């Protein structure tokens, strides 16, 4: 089993939008965003991010 599959990662939320810019793309989901890039073998995730939550003083 691949190392990533063994991780207890939360499930992604619903897809809220997809934007493509040439060889780059962003998939926005509830609470997450994936940044993809196009390679000869197809699109690959190059970054994943969760929005930072504001912590008031």
**Res. 1: pLDDT tops 70:** no
Rounded to the nearest angstrom, the gap between the alpha carbon of residue 39 and the centroid of all alpha carbons in its chain is 17
Give residue 57's pLDDT.
Answer: 54
Q: What is the pTM of this model?
A: 0.70
Instruction: Give me the residues paired with residue 45 across strands.
Output: 36
d(CA 13, CA 28): 9
More confident residue, 49 or 9: 49
Summarised one tens digit per residue, pLDDT across range 16-45 is 999 999 999 999 998 889 999 999 999 999
Q: How do the domains of the chain map onto residue ranges?
A: 13-49
């Amino acid at each position: 089993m691949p190392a990533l599959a063994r991780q207890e990662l939360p499930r992604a939320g619903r897809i809220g939008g997809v934007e493509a810019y040439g060889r780059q793309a962003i998939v926005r989901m509830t609470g997450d965003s994936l940044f993809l890039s196009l390679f000869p073998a197809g699109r690959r995730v190059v970054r994943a991010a969760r929005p930072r939550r504001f912590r008031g003083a």
